[in-house]
């Protein structure tokens, strides 16, 4: 959430503190949001550092020429020690994607599991929709794709697959159905992950998702 001048004031999850800085690095340059808790002097100092960070034209470029986390960290550490930053690639979806009949949209939350790792779906709020689920042969929910972030213009995928059902394409099927529903709502589907999350990056590769930026969030 942001205030009237664009400063970050809160996270979508009220139990999680907002990032002090959210930086997006693209082919066209770097963009960033700063937290309202930073002073004007701290925001100016950090902005000067962020303005000279290298651009990235593709994932390999982003990994070869990383953000100067040392300089960013020193600017922010004046306020409080850094928590491990979130850093990874962000993807958009190609115009044409195959459809999948393995997933379904969860529109009635009363049909969500009553227990287990997906019991939280029963209390999912509107910004989490659309929610796509894939059921295993047993009928249990094996994988889910929901809107981890949501605005009137775009939604970003959050994907979870039960460990015992991984490697069977369930996550890909859930993402395909979710992305189609996001587009039907007139919004843009997006996908991001961390560099270290090889399974999630492999899913993006299988679906032919298009890299457009690198995300860096520092709390």
Report the C-alpha gap between 12 and 95 in whole angstroms: 29
Report the C-alpha gap between 56 and 42 in whole angstroms: 25
Q: Mean pLDDT across the stretch 178-191?
A: 96
Beta-ladder partners of 34: 21
Least confident of 62-71, 122-131, 173-182: 62-71
Report the C-alpha gap between 60 and 51 in whole angstroms: 21
- How many residues can be counted in the chain? 219
Largest pairwise CA distance in the chain: 58
What is the rounded average pLDDT for all residues in the chain?
Answer: 87
Identify which has the larger pLDDT, 77 or 32: 32
Identify which has the larger pLDDT, 151 or 145: 145
CA of 53: how far to CAs of 9, 18, 70, in Å? 24, 22, 12
Considering the chain, tell me which residue range(s) the CATH 3.40.630.30 domain(s) occupy.
Answer: 103-207
Instruction: Please count the other Cβ atoms lying within 10 Å of the Cβ belonging to residue 128.
Output: 21
Question: Which homologous superfamily is 103-207 in?
Answer: Gcn5-related N-acetyltransferase (GNAT) (3.40.630.30)
pLDDT tens string 153-167: 999 999 999 999 999
pTM above 0.75, yes or no: yes
Q: Which of 178, 203, 200 shows the shortest CA–CA distance to 189?
A: 178
Assess contact for 37 and 49: CB atoms under 8 A. Answer: no
Q: What was the pLDDT predicted at 5?
A: 61
């Amino acid at each position: 959430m942001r205030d009237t001048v664009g400063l970050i004031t809160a996270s979508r999850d009220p139990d999680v503190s907002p990032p002090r800085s959210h930086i997006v690095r693209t082919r066209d340059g770097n963009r960033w949001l700063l937290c309202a808790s930073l002073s004007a002097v701290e925001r100016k100092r950090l902005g000067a550092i962020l303005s000279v960070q290298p651009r990235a034209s593709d994932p390999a470029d982003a990994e070869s020429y990383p953000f100067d986390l040392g300089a960013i960290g020193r600017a922010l550490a004046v306020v409080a020690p850094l928590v491990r930053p979130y850093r990874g690639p962000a993807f958009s979806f190609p115009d044409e994607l195959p459809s999948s009949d393995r997933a379904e949209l969860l529109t009635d939350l009363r049909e969500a599991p009553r227990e287990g790792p997906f019991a939280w779906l029963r209390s999912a709020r509107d910004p989490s929709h659309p929610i796509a689920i894939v059921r295993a042969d047993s009928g249990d929910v094996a994988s889910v794709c929901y809107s981890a972030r949501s605005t009137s213009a775009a939604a970003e995928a959050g994907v979870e697959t039960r460990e015992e059902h991984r490697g069977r394409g369930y996550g890909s099927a859930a993402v395909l159905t979710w992305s189609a529903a996001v587009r039907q709502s007139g919004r843009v589907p997006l996908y991001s992950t961390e560099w270290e999350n090889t399974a999630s990056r492999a899913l993006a590769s299988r679906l032919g998702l298009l890299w457009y930026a690198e995300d860096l969030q520092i709390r």
